[in-house]
Structure 1
Amino acid sequence: MAEQTTIENAPANVEVDTSYENDSSYGDELSSYSASLTSSVLEYRHENGRRYHKYRDGSYLLPNDEPEKDRLDMVHELCLQLLHRKLYLAPIKKPQRVIDLATGTGIWAIDFADEHPEAEVIGCDLSPIQPTLVSPNVKFQVDDIESEWTYERNPFDFIHARSLALSIRDVGKLIKQCYRSVKPGGWVEFQDWDLYPISPDGSLKGTGLQRYYDEVIGAFEEAGYEVRPGAKLEQCFKEAGFVNIHVEKFVIPYGVWPKDPHLKKLGAWNQAQGEANGFEGIALAALTRYKEWTKEEVILLASQARADGRKRDIHMMFDFYVVYGERPEN
């Protein structure tokens, strides 16, 4: 018997646009409508001196301009340093079809495609900010990963997502969509933060850094965004149905205060991405749109956090998680 495909959430009736007659102008109409859709994807929102995505406007609160692209590439290098130059930890073998969720600048997808020339690699993001001159086995598409997916019909061998904190509203739902869109025996890996900073010696208390995270993380939480998805990943993978779940928890310092050479290097990269307009970029939209702060107030808050971040006697750290799991063969 042929397998039956059921498309959920499809409307029973689709209303017809009667403003156009059935004539030879239909091709022109289609071309015009397609051009307008393409234009909306390529448009940007400019606000407080920063540039933001226009497609699904407002669903992501961080900028997508050149300073932010530089910062995202620094975070990529930070993660490579953390994992000793590994792009992932899942035990994948000869993947043929791979997707990188919220790919940002596309740097992870590009590196993966170079490592696995046999694989077709897709990077999806709300913003078309990825380079165009890339390997033939990698392509980028504009998409909202929190909308309903259609990938179930052509599933992946490997699904990867990194640093979705502050970007999504429901990590559990997203992981369930990953389960439905990965092949039996395929792997899904999430690498993500708990963005509430910690300092075991209490040196963070009362600092500009603590105020910054209290205000900014609080604003994102009130707006409904996940701010500490890393700590939820293991349970979300279990609830989605994955097996062979593996969890690794890391500590990433901020600044060069650690004695351990590896942690010192991680702290240096973390501080570099914060210094690269990271404090302002993360805070501006959240505080001005949701908390009625002025641009000047946000810049002052960010400058105080940046100044405290340079002090060797303030020992701030973050928890970072790498979790992967396999969809059962049967």
Structure 2
Amino acid sequence: MTETSVEEQSTVVTNAPANVEVDTSYENDSSYGDELSAYSASLTSSVLDYRHENGRRYHKFRDGSYLLPNDESENDRLDMAHEMCLQVLDRKLYLAPIKKPQRVIDLATGTGLWAIDFADQHPDAEVIGCDLSPIQPTLVPPNVKFLVDDIESEWAYEDKPFDFIHARYLAVSIRDFAKLIKQCYRSVKPGGWVEFQDWDGYPYSEDGSLDDTGLQRYFNEAYGAFEKAGYEVRPGPKLEEWFRDAGFVNIHVEKFIVPHGVWPKDRHLKKVGAWMQAQAEAGFEGGALAALTRYKNWTKEEVMVLASQARTDGRRHDVHAMFDFYVVYGQRPEV
């Protein structure tokens, strides 16, 4: 991949034409459901101390700073989201041009699959995964370890900086991305790389088919609650500016189209869309419960109805929803 200087930065759509063609021959068969079930697998969580609310389990450490659950259902969804991101990036864990990294950290590692896969690919690297919840597996490569930490608090890594810092899927989880990226700058070695992979969280359609659907209402309502709580829901298109403001050079930006559902004609986009739909459906209820009940005074039952409407309209082949997913990396100057 060709590096671009700060002066030559450009955003490139790498995985789709300007207009995504609809597969008009589509029939609603079960092959994609079979494919998804074959890939998804749950991980055993460590049970320490958790908050239970509306039938879901949430982290207790820094209680309330993260509004999504950390129970088995959510962990399964995170595993599906990991596979979806691999599909988007053609099985690549990262795009930054790193070479022989010795010390690496994965921010908000979730179930830890990215850190585990990276450790397998780079057996000489020390890999750390940090998260608010200790939900990672215990049988892991010898060069990976997991820490319970709040990445929005002050870090203590500057005295032993990293060669590579990775963060993925932090939309609706972080209040101050600019501060977090500056923390990354201070904690990466001169010449080291930082990469964020994240969303413009609101869906859209090129033909207006998303308008006035339950799927659109879900994101408007749920993300409205997250924004009311102070969380950033569309960090993807802002990452480049935050990287530049933090002092990074050789910033590179790529944007990927991620459909919701199997409606695209393109086979790659169809498969990506199948994974997107699967992980989204698994997370509709958990993704909105805490935000809407705590910040907009919704009842659990109202959230369940909203999630059901989103699930129903998301399965309609005449609704052509899609999201923009950004991968942005930058380098701390050598001197």
Q: TM-score, normalised by structure 1?
A: 0.87
Q: Which residue of 2 aligns with 1:116?
A: 122
Q: Which residue of 2 aligns with 1:259?
A: 265
Quick check: 1:107 aligned with 2:77?
no
Q: Which residue of 2 aligns with 1:64?
A: 70
Q: Which residue of 1 aligns with 2:92?
A: 86
Q: Which residue of 2 aligns with 1:324?
A: 329
Aligned residues: 289
Q: Which residue of 2 aligns with 1:34?
A: none
Q: Which residue of 2 aligns with 1:242?
A: 248
What amino acid is aligned across from residue 247 of structure 2 in structure 1?
G
Identity %: 82
CA distance in 2: counterparts of 1:212 and 1:79, whole angstroms? 22
Helix, strand or coil for the counterpart of 1:153? coil
User: Out of 289, 301, 322, which is 1:296 matched to?
Assistant: 301
Q: Which residue of 1 aligns with 2:312?
A: 307
1:1-20 matches, within 5 Å, as none
What amino acid is aligned across from residue 311 of structure 2 in structure 1?
R
What amino acid is aligned across from residue 331 of structure 2 in structure 1?
E
User: Out of 216, 223, 229, which is 2:229 matched to?
Assistant: 223
CA distance in 2: counterparts of 1:42 and 1:184, whole angstroms? 38
CA distance in 1: counterparts of 2:194 and 2:212, whole angstroms? 40
RMSD (Å), alpha carbons: 0.7
String of CA shifts for 1:212-233, please: whole Å, max 9, x gaps: 1110010001110010011110
Unaligned runs of 5+ in 1: 1-40
String of CA shifts for 1:107-159, please: whole Å, max 9, x gaps: 00000000000000000000000011111100000000000011000000000
User: Out of 75, 79, 91, which is 1:73 matched to?
Assistant: 79
Helix, strand or coil for the counterpart of 2:264? coil
Unaligned runs of 5+ in 2: 1-46
Deviation at 1:42, TM superposition (A): 2.6
Helix, strand or coil for the counterpart of 1:154? coil
CA distance in 2: counterparts of 1:308 and 1:261, whole angstroms? 22
What amino acid is aligned across from residue 254 of structure 2 in structure 1?
E
Quick check: 1:214 aligned with 2:226?
no
What amino acid is aligned across from residue 55 of structure 1 in structure 2?
F
CA distance in 2: counterparts of 1:238 and 1:296, whole angstroms? 44
Helix, strand or coil for the counterpart of 1:151? coil
String of CA shifts for 1:14-42, please: whole Å, max 9, x gaps: xxxxxxxxxxxxxxxxxxxxxxxxxxx93
CA distance in 2: counterparts of 1:55 and 1:319, whole angstroms? 32
Q: Which residue of 2 aligns with 1:37?
A: none
Larger Rg: 1
Q: TM-score, normalised by structure 2?
A: 0.86
String of CA shifts for 1:42-99, please: whole Å, max 9, x gaps: 3100001100000000000000000100000111001100111000000000000000
CA distance in 1: counterparts of 2:212 and 2:102, whole angstroms? 51
